[in-house]
Structure 1
């Protein structure tokens, strides 16, 4: 079979599938599932073009990895063919454990099971299918390989994963603040003392990368309406889980039904491979088909919330730099009770808060090092003449309050 394929990517143009192993990984059913999982969850309800998938992102990240390896080899860094194939496989599979709508399942149907754990479990299973050919890729992915810089290319504060999703999400949302000079950054990469560093000439491109990451989080990933939509989806799944546990009949695909009707946590996944089997059959279409049917469900709470998602009649989201006072939240609940007749025990489906965080750069974790012309290595915050890079390293917290729009605006939603 001819495995020398190319993919026409809207962001980078033609992307080559570099090896037969990578082609077989792309063809694997677990990877093909990513075609049906949106990269940025409910963001399309704010930016209509944001319908790109985890599949596209993984292919793009692999392409950037190929560029990075080519750059490093051109600078005398020896990378074997086995290492190349392994690190390409690792980045290709880095998101293999994502469930429908990204993190929604982690907060509703599956307790305490992260997509990182699921990715690791699925990579182990694929490795069995491939007769151990992914063993080195898994070692690199888990940061167990002796050449640490290969793991840094997969997962760090300046990895090809972040470069692709910033570039790609900017492209599909139309938010130009996320555009980065990924090609310039990659050309400036080097390895010193087994660590990825950026040559001084790439300093300004990395500064722009960090600024773009901060702006994309506030403008896209943590947009107040996106947060409200994602929380509403989580509330729908929580309500469905509650009703299923109470013995109510709910339409769901077999894979979705499996997780609705059982309390499944981390230990279940670790001890019974059947749960992982069902997880690999789950994607966005399972959730959306159920929500379309649940619009007509006899449970009024579930029905109302599903109708809101389908009609984009989302909750109002108010953002604050400080936590909302209990009196403010109580006043919203009073209005909801008066307007919609909601009982106190069900109020958490209609009024809820969320704390969100944004930290573009953490100098204490995998710091981005700049290689000065003198040969000295310094943290980017020291090398930069932009004072705001110090601000980007601070963890900024904001608070969201969500409630139905029909209760009207809440006067002076002050925070303490």
Structure 2
């Protein structure tokens, strides 16, 4: 028996609050879970700074990755198996790609990506293709198997059915994180009838489609995603935590570039600050390491870094007002910048515009930078129909991007800092502080 088909002597089962059980029968999958690169995901939160808003949101990329694997396992083993449109030889490729799809995430996920301009998908591929335990296991399957997995995750694979299982507008990744994030945040928005959607999924030429009878379950899924983004992922308090996190990293980088003498040298950040983050350095970064630095930086001489770290660790977050960056509003912002400078409050770190944007569903727009494969319904006669052509609910939100802007500032500093009272009054008036 080859390594690619080798089964465990006894099935391993993970208890899971979302899927009840996660089943592992394949030796390859079990070995991948045991690698140090995959175990590192236990030390990366799934939802970044959301725990500052929803105290239960402490779950990890590790549990999410297992969940995505389990959904794909159920699809390929229970739904697709035996169907003429499904090539059984793609089974292990689908399972490995699902399990490893988030392998390259850094601490607090997207915040690090914004400040240091790197892409977690690049590092996911680097781990899969590099000198790692994960690569050794994948190469034991087949010499070019790591490349095949990396291509699926990069969405460049010719195997479009496997790609769409993991990355499309209705995929295993989204189906797991919506339910998992809803569970851990304690909200009801992320729930939908996944069982019905899975039962009605079908492999069809170069994509996964849904039987027409499952349309209402898909509508529920789309609306669930819409609500989760605006009620959880883009929650203004979560965004305030993320603003402060971003500003800590920005300040530390700026101080490093200014040759500032840190009391506690940020050795783990050197290659990040210098713009040449190595794979080894990336793998050595997790949230425990980052929080250690935030802890010790509270004793730094630099007042901005010290204050921001204290705010993040003790949840003394910025307040916010609604902000629409039109001409009038932007003039107001520029006036505030000048007033902050007069009050000796650095606006670069203490007056921050933050924008969030989401497109809940989109039809196919060929040639766009990010092409979104639409959800297709398989009609009773065998033809395919794009979802928004059949569903009035989805049509109403299709292609409509919603964007929200907020202006963040430290209320406590504005109230307590010594400054000219006329300056304080003008700031308060512009920010509508009573």
The verdict on how the C-alpha distance between 1:190 and 1:321 changes in structure 2, with shifts beyond 3 A counting, is farther
Give the equivalent residue in structure 1 for 2:86: 78
Please tell me whether residue 216 in structure 1 is matched to residue 242 in structure 2.
Answer: no
The alpha-carbon distance between structure 1 residues 321 and 140, as it changes in their structure 2 partners (threshold 3 A), is: same
Determine if contact 1:244/1:250 at 8 Å carries over to the other structure. no
* Matched ranges for 1:13-412 at <5 A: 13-69=20-76, 70-73=78-81, 75-80=83-88, 82-108=89-115, 110=116, 112-125=117-130, 126=132, 128-130=135-137, 131=139, 132=143, 133-247=145-259, 248-251=261-264, 254=267, 256-259=268-271, 262-264=273-275, 268=276, 275-320=278-323, 323=326, 325-333=329-337, 336-337=340-341, 341-342=344-345, 346-364=346-364, 365-386=372-393, 389-406=395-412, 407=414, 410-411=428-429
Provide, for residues 309-361 of structure 1, a one-character-per-residue CA deviation record: whole Å limited to 9, x for no partner.
1111100122345547233224544664566x32xxx3210001122211111
Structure 1 alignment gaps of length 5 or more: 270-274
**Secondary structure of the structure 2 residue equivalent to 1:59:** helix
* Cα distance change of structure 1 residues 128 and 12 upon mapping to structure 2, 3 Å threshold: closer
Whole-angstrom distance in 2 between the partners of 1:249 and 1:317: 31
Partners of 1:188 and 1:411 in 2: how far apart? 57
Q: CA RMSD in A?
A: 2.3
Q: How far off its partner does 1:141 sit?
A: 2.9
Give yes or no for contact 1:336–1:404 (8 Å, CA) kept in 2: no
| Separation of aligned partners in 1, 2:428 and 2:377 | 49
Measure the CA separation in 2 of the matches of 1:3 and 1:30.
24
* 1:79-130 per-position Cα deviation (integer Å, ceiling 9, x unaligned): 32x411111101111111110000122222x3x3211111111111246423
Q: Please, which moves more after superposition, 402-411 or 184-193?
A: 402-411
Aligned partner of residue 15 in structure 1, secondary structure: strand
Give the TM-score normalised by the residue count of structure 2.
0.85
Q: Cα gap change, 1:338/1:116 in structure 2, threshold over 3 Å: closer, same or farther?
A: same
Q: Distance in 2 between matches of 1:148 and 1:288?
A: 40
Q: Give secondary structure in 2 for the equivalent of 1:241.
A: helix
C-alpha spacing 1:142/1:312, structure 2 compared with 1 (3 Å): closer
Q: Is the 8 A contact 1:252 1:286 kept in 2?
A: no
Of the structure 1 ranges 186-195 and 70-79, higher mean CA displacement relative to structure 2 is found in 70-79
> What CA distance in whole angstroms lies between the structure 2 residues aligned with 1:357 and 1:144?
26
Q: In the superposition, relative to structure 1, how do residues 68 and 312 fare at CA in structure 2: closer, same or farther (>3 Å)?
A: same
Q: Distance in 1 between matches of 2:430 and 2:82?
A: 60
Structure 2 Cα separation of the partners of residues 44 and 224 of structure 1:
13
Deviations 1:158-192 (A, max 9, x none): 11001000010011001111112222111110122
Worse overlay, 324-333 or 192-201: 324-333
Runs of 5+ in structure 2 lacking a partner? 1-7, 365-371, 416-426
